[in-house]
Amino acid sequence: MDKKIVYFLCTGNSCRSQMADGFLKAYGGDKYEVKSAGLEAHGLNPRAVATMQEAGIDISTHTSDVIDPETLSQADYIITLCGHANDNCPVVRNDKAERWHWGFDDPAKATGTIEEVTAKFGEVRDAIKSRIQQFVKEGK
């Protein structure tokens, strides 16, 4: 059975798309080939790594990548995780791809105390986890 390709896109491929990538590999890696990228590569956010580690998912070896046109053209699912990526995603020349937008707040823009910022990362992580679990359960 060929795995369906899921391509998560965000602005910088540093937080949200990396979290989604990690969760889908963990919960659906047997069914999906999972990739993520950004309109730009901002580097892997250390707080995203730490937040995912708290959930038992290691994304420390992930890289922050820019959108690859070849992967974009081969994907079965193209899922944007922020409004900027949704609005600025390149034109998809791919008739088979389902394109979805799952909007999540950018935890990297959280302000306040360390505890408040950490809580925002956890909140976004948990929301992404829930959405990934729903995606896998629905068996898209």
Check if the beta carbon of residue 85 is closer than 8 Å to that of residue 10. yes
Q: Is the dihedral of CA 56, 19, 76, 37 positive or negative?
A: negative
CA dihedral 44, 104, 113, 57 (to 10 degrees): -50
Active site positions, annotated: 10, 82, 89
Which stretches within the chain are classed as H helix?
A: 16-28, 46-54, 69-74, 83-88, 114-138
